[in-house]
Amino acid sequence: MMNLYLIRHVHTYGNEGRFNGVSESEFTPKGLKMKEILVDYFSDLARRVKFDRIYTSPIKRAYLIAEDISLRNHIPLTCVDALKEYNFGIFDGLKIEEARKLDEKVYFEWLNNHLYYKIPKGESYLEKYQDSTNWIKEILKENLDNVLIVTHGAVIRCLISYLLDLRLKDGWHFDVPLGGFCLINYENNYGTLKEFGLPDYPFEIHDFSKSFIK
């Protein structure tokens, strides 16, 4: 059986009303505090659970969290391009009103068909799903017991859909907030959702992505 901990990065300036995709985005002061708490949480867990490896998106808001957990607990770390956030293309890094002003036709075509529409210079949600799930299929073949995956909201939804044998659109029924995680057990080609977790942050966590896509 493989235990997969899917961890979402913490709060950045890009999470303040922007399409926070493949563009780099620095941690806010709140995010820096969340990062500290999240790293402490999984470092404490690593004293009780032997983690075989950490896989992370190379985007800094995920990578810096994974790197801290890795260095503190001597867990091997691997960067994976397939774990990058969804690419919003010409809208990446923009606010909603900026995206609409840039190309209103494309904006509404994407919003009305967000699973399959490919934003110019970006990707479709289906392409993100295929990219991330082709990668996880290979990981599931390895002889690993406990794995940490530090990544982004869209990737986590894609992986949940695949590991729980759900439809593409069903990932949007699951909400892993910034700085949160979920645990999925996978055995004999069958995934079981065991836990949704959120460290004890001293403030409310807001997820902008829920405000523009369902």
Asked if 205 and 177 touch (Cβ cutoff 8 Å), the reply is: yes
Please, are residues 195 and 22 in contact by the beta-carbon 8 Å criterion?
A: no
Is the model more confident about 208 or about 189? 189
One DSSP character per residue, the chain reads -EEEEEEE---BGGGTTB--SSS--PBPHHHHHHHHHHHHHHHHHHTTS---EEEE-SSHHHHHHHHHHHHHHT--EEE-GGGSPP--GGGTT-BHHHHHHH-HHHHHHHHHTTTT---TTS--HHHHHHHHHHHHHHHTTS--SEEEEEE-HHHHHHHHHHHTT--GGGGGG----TT-EEEEEEETTEEEEEEEE----SS----GGGGT--
- The pTM assigned to this predicted structure is 0.95
Residue ranges and CATH numbers for the domains of the chain are 2-87+124-211 (3.40.50.1240)
User: 40 vs 3, 72, 183, 205, CA distance in Å?
Assistant: 20, 9, 18, 18
Provide, rounded to the nearest whole percent, the portion of the chain with pLDDT above 90: 94
Q: In this structure, how many other beta carbons lie within 10 angstroms of the beta carbon of residue 1?
A: 10
Residue 180's pLDDT band (cuts 50, 70, 90): very high
Structure confidence at residue 205 (pLDDT): 73
Backbone angles phi, psi at 5, to 5 degrees: -95, 115
Q: What is the pLDDT of residues 27-79, one digit of tens each?
A: 999 999 999 999 999 999 999 999 999 999 999 999 999 999 999 999 999 99
Task: Supply the pLDDT for residue 203.
Answer: 81
Rounded to whole angstroms, what are the CA distances from 65 to 33, 40, 53, 73, 108?
12, 10, 14, 12, 34
Instruction: Convert the pLDDT of each residue in 110-160 to its tens digit.
Output: 999 999 999 999 999 999 999 999 999 999 999 999 999 999 999 999 999
